[in-house]
Structure 1
Amino acid sequence: MLRFTLLWLLVFLFASISSSSARPAPYAMRISCGARQNIRTPPTYTRWYKDFAYTGGIPANATAPSHITPPLKTLRYFPLSEGPENCYIINRVPKGHYSVRIFFGLVEHEIDNEPLFEVSVEGTIIHSLKSGWSKNDEQVFAEALVFLLDGSVSICFHSTGRGDPTIISIEILQIDEKAYYFGPEWGRGVILKTTSRLTCGTSKPKFDEDYSGDHWGGDRFWHPIRTFGKNVDAPRSTESGIKKASTVPNFYPEALYQSAVVSTDSKPDLAYTMDVDPNKNYSIWLHFAEIDATITSAGKRVFDVLINGGTVFENVDVVGMSGDRYTALVLNTTVALSGRTLTITLHPKKGNHAILTAIEVFQVIVAESKTSPEEVRALQALKKSLGLPNRFGWNGDPCVPKEHPWSGADCHFDKSGGKWFIDGLGLGNQGLRGSLPNEISKLHHLQSINLSGNSIHGVIPSSLGTVTSLETLDLSYNFLNGSIPESLGKLTALRRLNLNGNSLSGRVPSALGGRLLNGASFKYFYR
């Protein structure tokens, strides 16, 4: 009885240690856009949260353009009247490395209206939809690998005037911290945008979930390519187990390596060509496993790998480099491409045939520097207090993407601090109402403010006197009342002040009056 008790205690202790040292499940957030309640979808019964965290838009019934799109029945679309930029801003996201994926859809009964728009994550554009995307499995979603370090993530959709952005779902999936490390350039300032991910020798598209893959690898989509062309190669497959597949940090599913393409006698070179954006850097990942029964040992099959005609790997011997047959081998290289095509060629040197299991291609994107959070909060307070019309948008980051800055906000980049800041507000004659909030003084770098010709009421905030960089202040033709704050006399850089057309009273601060002698242009009329 004592031996049994001791044995049970040892088993319990081992189980406890194993359990405590086991890696926790990765963070996952999946949003069904437009949905009013949480749902689960077959066949995996994946949980999707009801729609939340959006800045605008309208829910509608969805038409899924592809069979790989999650089987969700709703979407959210963003008409231009809601503003040119709209975002999902999701908080309480643990710091880490993430796969962010957005599926696009079509509004029900409007399947011929294919919208074209741009997508950004954390202020960096990761995707621009191209005509015909709804008929291509690889283009019905955008995916990028990005570090999220601020406890939140903003995913924004930017109108280009060619239809309303329409979003079916958003997925934020935590992956290994070192996933897809490709060299010294890799890091927190770099985003990897998925350009293409192929599984060779099969006709069935699959996600990692279909492969029963490790969740720390994300849930990658593998587009099938059974053959690269008629009579140029032949598919191979096996049911044998594959060693060294699902390992840190990328966790590729074992089943990925159970199919491949092998070149033929008539066409020894194995080549694949795809379209890419020119003048970009690409990280290319090539997957191999020797599953051909005719190759029994190292040295039987040796080939070179070329990218656009240039050799990047010489004398690749899958058995020799992986250590055995039925063993995964992954090779990675990063190349700069000037043209619009990427061609991967496997050129046999021994054995007359090459073999390839899968291909991954990522565009390497330098992440945009973001605007100072304090200044973003100040602009949001200004937006709320002045009741900025929806057409302005003012969602996401004011200065990035640089292609889509906020209307009426001028940006300047501070190289020393690595942040954008606001140096001008141009919102004259925009039908603004409400009052000026004290938070406007948090825009410490402002040189110019023009809020003339609106319906702004209340007093001029005395805190404006702390914006010492201000050179131009035009608040004319509003409904401001009270007196001119004494603090404005501290604005030693101020050269133009226009307060005409308001209901101001009291005396002019002596510091301002004296400045007229120094060439400043001040206009103010008391009623």
Structure 2
Amino acid sequence: MSFFSLFFFFFSLPILTTLSSPYPYDTSYRIDCGGQRNFTNTFNESWIGDTFYSGGVMGLVAEPHRFTQQQERTLRFFPISSGKKNCYILRVPNGRYYIRVFTIYDNYDGELHSPSFDVSVEGTVVFSWRSPWPEDVSRDGAYSDLFAGVSDGEADICFYSIATDPPVIGSLEVIEVDPLSYDSTVIGEEFLLVNYGRLTCGSGNQGSGFSNDSDKFGRAWQSDSGFRVVDTSDSSFRVLSTRRNIVSTDQRPNYFPMHLYQTAVTARKGLEYELVVDAKLDYLLWFHFAEINEVVNKAGQRVFDVFINQRNVGRIDIFKQVGSFAALNWHYTVRNLSSTVLSVKLVPVVGPPLICGLENYALVPKDMSTVPDQVIAMRALKESLRVPDRMGWNGDPCAPSSWDAWEGVTCHPKKDKSALVVSQIDLGSQGLKGYVSEQINLLSNLVSLNLTSNSLEGTLPLGLGQKTLVRFYVRFWYQSVMKSIQGLLAENQRTNKEVWGRFVEKSQTLETPPLEIDEGLCYGRGENMGLMKDSHRGYFSTPVVGRGRGKEVDNGGDRKSAPSQELPRQPTIGSSGPRLKTGITNTNPVPYAPNHVLKYKDSGDFEAAQWSMTPWSLEKGLHDYL
């Protein structure tokens, strides 16, 4: 299959001034993951001890003496007991951010097994680590960075375990940058810019963590020497440098540092770079030029063409466009790249080509996020139900869409593909001990809710799933749940939907609440919810017996036997007992067997001859009876 590559390029002409613009953004966090105290490093950067994490455990690299930076010696890892998904969540102003992660293994756990895991930023998967890591990366660690927008007041950096491997992180930096940086108005906020190479030409590593050279965005610049294709037959290769000021640096919106333009490389036969990339993505390449050779003093003396994967995409004459000792940056986008190597060549037209720096960013489409109201609802449920850490309820409930983000939660996209919504919640047998928050009513797309076999309390919100809920499984232990179920059924009569419920109460008498209802089942459908008036389609089971054994009953021509068992003493529900629905009472006690279904006559009275002994199944529901 062939792919078309479309190229877009732009010139950024400088404002000719030697004054640096004041930097108006002051939100920045540098977190020493696993570290316990604040400090200032040798490059005068302020770091804070580990904070803003959802779970995990502090750790120490196996050989801390090999790391010169304090923030590289400690780490945080997330064992599976902390859940599959864990996050750092930072409260920040809405805007655009530079996010940088240091990842290190160094056999901190003595297992000699580098872990497999994914990393997401703002709900989009950006980094994937798979075991085994390259030996040097496992031992020395690696920095990864990107630019992303934040629109909900929280910067979410999340980690997802593959199999049962514990994700790890050594340090985290989140720095606010200009919202117009890197041509965001043209590219749009629907992309994250993931760094696939940020090179400074003719110098060593510069910027954060490498040198005292300042960069207002906190960017680190890597030497180009490992990416440059060397032509051994060209003895004209030279490194140029200057101490003169370069105009149009440290300016809005990109604040490119002056030191980037004070070195350059040049060669008479041309220059070539090979950048390793992932296929089928779009890439934004950003070139940096400055004419720092005093010999070139007029237009036309240094002219060269730029080729990307053997295609000529533009012609550069630095002096003609900005003069000497002035910064020129130029960028273009490669669409639908079909190869895993991005080749960049500067081919001479007049004089030798020259370059100061090169950046390459993958344009990663932002994944869908959960509808904001449903995020509020799910976080409220997390608190009210006291969901344990092991379930990984951290960050966005549904994003990234490729993850099983929150255990027990199923999501799907809205019809217009603009966001994700919660459709199912299955929290059966999770040992929950809280209550159902009223915010659950914000889950307007919820069709199935399972809260069985938990020790919950309180009432059910009246509007629960009134528009969409099809299946509902729940156990409670307060008497008030009976009233809430009645309200729920009444509310759902207008929706032509189905509702299930299972309950647990703890008492021996009606007079001493809470009432005991053991393994009960409530079912309804359409306008004839719960106990039907004019149909045999309604069912409700509840303990209504005293001590006794099962007996044969008539079930529509089929004769079945109730399980023979000693039943605990239960109260008789009669005319003075609780009314499950107006006009529905039972004056004739009948044998009761848990997990079975009572069938009612049109008259609405309980009769022993009318109950079915077929066990209820979550999979099968009650459809056999309909």
Residue 607 of structure 2 is matched in structure 1 by: none
Question: Which amino acid in the other structure matches residue 456 of structure 1?
Answer: S
Q: Deviation digits for residues 252-311 of structure 1, max 9, x if unmatched?
A: 1111112222124xxx23211111111111110011122345534321221111111122
CA spacing shift, 1:110–1:462, aligned 2, 3 Å: closer
CA spacing shift, 1:279–1:70, aligned 2, 3 Å: farther
Q: Deviation digits for residues 446-500 of structure 1, max 9, x if unmatched?
A: 1111233x23333551425453211111226x75654133232221232252437
Q: What TM-score results when the alignment is normalised by the length of structure 2?
A: 0.71
CA contact (8 A) 1:66 1:134 kept: no
Q: CA deviation at 1:168?
A: 1.9
Show the 5 A alignment for 1:208-247.
210=211, 212-213=213-214, 215=216, 218-226=217-225, 228-229=229-230, 231=232, 233-247=237-251
Q: CA deviation at 1:223?
A: 0.7
CA spacing shift, 1:513–1:182, aligned 2, 3 Å: closer
CA contact (8 A) 1:114 1:134 kept: no
2:496 aligns with one of 483, 493, 503: 493
Question: Which amino acid in the other structure matches residue 382 of structure 1?
Answer: L
Which has more strand, going by share of residues?
A: 1
Question: Counterparts of 1:202 and 1:107 in 2: how far apart (Å)?
Answer: 29
CA spacing shift, 1:341–1:38, aligned 2, 3 Å: same
Residue 455 of structure 1 is matched in structure 2 by: 454
> Greater shift after overlay, 135-144 or 162-171?
135-144
Pair 1:254-2:258 in alignment: yes
CA contact (8 A) 2:35 2:71 kept: no
CA contact (8 A) 2:210 2:220 kept: no
CA contact (8 A) 1:399 1:420 kept: yes
CA contact (8 A) 1:480 1:504 kept: no
Question: Counterparts of 1:381 and 1:516 in 2: how far apart (Å)?
Answer: 38
CA spacing shift, 1:326–1:507, aligned 2, 3 Å: closer
Question: Counterparts of 1:25 and 1:182 in 2: how far apart (Å)?
Answer: 17
2:162 aligns with one of 160, 164, 170: 160
CA contact (8 A) 1:119 1:155 kept: yes
Residue 3 of structure 1 is matched in structure 2 by: none
CA spacing shift, 1:282–1:182, aligned 2, 3 Å: farther
Q: CA deviation at 1:344?
A: 0.8
CA contact (8 A) 2:377 2:442 kept: yes
Q: Deviation digits for residues 302-348 of structure 1, max 9, x if unmatched?
A: 111111112221x31122122x2222211100111122111111111
> Greater shift after overlay, 60-69 or 47-56?
60-69
Give secondary structure in 1 for the equivalent of 2:383: helix
Q: CA deviation at 1:393?
A: 0.5
Residue 15 of structure 1 is matched in structure 2 by: none
Residue 428 of structure 1 is matched in structure 2 by: 428
Give secondary structure in 2 for the equivalent of 1:181: helix
Give secondary structure in 1 for the equivalent of 2:373: helix
Question: Counterparts of 1:289 and 1:136 in 2: how far apart (Å)?
Answer: 34
Question: Counterparts of 2:521 and 2:364 in 1: how far apart (Å)?
Answer: 56
Quote the sequence identity (%).
30
Structure 2 unmatched ranges of 5 or more: 1-20, 506-515, 545-626
Q: Deviation digits for residues 388-416 of structure 1, max 9, x if unmatched?
A: 34332011111110111322111122245
Q: CA deviation at 1:511?
A: 5.8
CA contact (8 A) 2:398 2:420 kept: yes
Question: Which amino acid in the other structure matches residue 120 of structure 1?
Answer: S
Residue 583 of structure 2 is matched in structure 1 by: none
Residue 330 of structure 2 is matched in structure 1 by: 331
Question: Counterparts of 2:538 and 2:257 in 1: how far apart (Å)?
Answer: 70
Question: Counterparts of 1:319 and 1:177 in 2: how far apart (Å)?
Answer: 30
Pair 1:400-2:399 in alignment: yes
Question: Which amino acid in the other structure matches residue 364 of structure 2?
Answer: I
Give secondary structure in 1 for the equivalent of 2:182: coil
Show the 5 A alignment for 1:100-499.
100-106=99-105, 109-110=108-109, 112-129=112-129, 132=133, 135=136, 140-161=142-163, 163-181=165-183, 184=186, 186-207=187-208, 210=211, 212-213=213-214, 215=216, 218-226=217-225, 228-229=229-230, 231=232, 233-264=237-268, 268-292=269-293, 294-313=295-314, 315-322=315-322, 324-336=323-335, 337-351=337-351, 353-404=352-403, 405-416=405-416, 418-452=418-452, 454-465=453-464, 467-475=466-474, 481=479, 482-483=481-482, 484-491=485-492, 492-499=495-502
Q: Deviation digits for residues 84-103 of structure 1, max 9, x if unmatched?
A: 11011112x12222111121
Residue 512 of structure 1 is matched in structure 2 by: 529
Q: Deviation digits for residues 335-390 of structure 1, max 9, x if unmatched?
A: 11122111111111222x22221110111122223212332232233333434343
CA contact (8 A) 1:498 1:523 kept: no
CA spacing shift, 1:516–1:475, aligned 2, 3 Å: farther
CA contact (8 A) 1:346 1:354 kept: yes
CA spacing shift, 1:212–1:95, aligned 2, 3 Å: same
CA contact (8 A) 1:495 1:519 kept: no
CA contact (8 A) 2:95 2:149 kept: yes
Q: CA deviation at 1:183?
A: 6.0
Question: Counterparts of 2:65 and 2:532 in 1: how far apart (Å)?
Answer: 65
Question: Which amino acid in the other structure matches residue 84 of structure 1?
Answer: K
Report which of the two structures shows the higher radius of gyration computed on alpha carbons: 2
Show the 5 A alignment for 1:43-54.
44-54=43-53
CA spacing shift, 1:519–1:500, aligned 2, 3 Å: farther
Question: Counterparts of 1:152 and 1:54 in 2: how far apart (Å)?
Answer: 13
Q: Deviation digits for residues 54-91 of structure 1, max 9, x if unmatched?
A: 11001122467996866454221111221111011112
> Greater shift after overlay, 229-238 or 511-520?
511-520
Question: Which amino acid in the other structure matches residue 148 of structure 1?
Answer: V
Question: Counterparts of 2:279 and 2:454 in 1: how far apart (Å)?
Answer: 48
Question: Counterparts of 1:520 and 1:249 in 2: how far apart (Å)?
Answer: 68
CA contact (8 A) 2:144 2:195 kept: yes
Question: Counterparts of 1:475 and 1:56 in 2: how far apart (Å)?
Answer: 29
Structure 1 unmatched ranges of 5 or more: 1-20
CA spacing shift, 1:225–1:214, aligned 2, 3 Å: closer
Aligned residue pairs, count: 494
CA contact (8 A) 1:182 1:332 kept: no
Question: Counterparts of 2:65 and 2:169 in 1: how far apart (Å)?
Answer: 12
> Greater shift after overlay, 341-350 or 513-522?
513-522
CA spacing shift, 1:133–1:442, aligned 2, 3 Å: farther
Question: Which amino acid in the other structure matches residue 60 of structure 1?
Answer: G
